[in-house]
């Protein structure tokens, strides 16, 4: 977006953890509720311990720590001292590893329910359009910038490639990694990058003008 000279609120990227953390926690809670019912257990499921355990996981704890760090420190100092020289390289290595794992899981995805792949291809566009609509409402009511609307849609269309796999492995150990790694990283992420981002930028230009 910066290369296209699209301006947006500097705080808009901080919306990501507030969207990602609740989504992962809700997924873990729903999965545990389903597993209890599937086992035929009449025991009442205690939701709060599941939420607490999920939030204590390494990935979600890191995001919560990042939020606290941003609130208590000067973000510029953190960016100059850690993010710019180190985090970009570490993130590149992590995404390379995730891409390799996704490739190895891709052939396994065929043996899982095929609707995973269909949903992974359609979800980024569908979720992003919902976020675009909500962002447009925020634009009308509060003056949220068109670039912020696009960024909100892009965040909503993205997969939790970094925080998702370790959180789901810990919270839902019986889940098949071929489903959530293969579907999200192998299918969802390429769709989000190749289709969703240009789609929302074009939609913003059509709605808001140049």
Copy the structure tokens of residue 127.
């979720």
Specify the pLDDT at position 121. 85
- Nearest Cα to 75, choosing from 19, 20, 16, 11? 11
The predicted model gives 159-170 an average pLDDT of 75
What value does the mean pLDDT of the chain take? 77
Specify the pLDDT at position 109. 61
33-47, 69-83, 171-185: which has the minimum mean pLDDT?
69-83
156-165, 176-185, 200-209: which has the minimum mean pLDDT?
176-185
Cα torsion 63, 50, 188, 161: sign: positive
Specify the pLDDT at position 26. 86
Which residues, in sequence order, are CB contacts of 16 under 8 Å at separation 6+? 155
The predicted model gives 182-195 an average pLDDT of 80
- pLDDT classification of 177: cutoffs 50, 70, 90: confident
Specify the pLDDT at position 126. 92
- pLDDT classification of 19: cutoffs 50, 70, 90: confident
Q: Which sequence spans correspond to the domains of the chain?
A: 12-208
Provide the 3-class DSSP secondary structure of residue 203: helix
Rounded-to-integer distance, Cα 195 and Cα 66, Å: 30
Cβ–Cβ < 8 Å for 157, 125: yes
Region for residue 148 given its phi and psi (left: phi exceeds 0; alpha: psi -120 to 50; beta: otherwise): alpha
Interhelix angle 15-38/164-171, rounded to 10 degrees, is 30
Cβ–Cβ < 8 Å for 199, 128: yes
């Amino acid at each position: 977006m910066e290369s296209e000279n699209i301006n947006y609120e500097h705080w808009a990227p901080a919306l990501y953890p507030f969207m990602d953390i609740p989504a992962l926690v809700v997924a873990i809670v729903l999965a545990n509720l389903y597993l209890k019912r599937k086992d035929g257990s009449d025991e009442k499921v205690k939701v709060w311990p599941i939420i607490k355990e999920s939030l204590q996981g390494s990935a979600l704890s890191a995001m919560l720590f990042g939020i606290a760090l941003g609130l208590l420190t000067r973000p510029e100092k953190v960016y100059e001292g850690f993010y710019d020289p180190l985090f970009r390289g570490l993130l590149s290595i992590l995404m390379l590893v995730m891409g390799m794992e996704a490739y190895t899981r891709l052939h396994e995805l065929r043996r899982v329910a095929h609707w995973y792949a269909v949903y992974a291809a359609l979800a980024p566009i569908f979720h992003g359009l919902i976020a675009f609509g909500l962002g447009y409402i925020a634009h009308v009511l509060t003056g949220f910038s068109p670039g912020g609307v696009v960024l909100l849609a892009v965040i909503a269309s993205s997969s939790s490639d970094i925080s998702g796999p370790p959180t789901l492995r810990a919270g839902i150990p019986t889940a098949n990694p071929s489903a959530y790694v293969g579907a999200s990283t192998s299918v969802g992420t390429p769709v989000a990058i190749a289709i969703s981002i240009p789609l929302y930028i074009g939609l913003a230009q059509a709605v808001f003008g140049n």
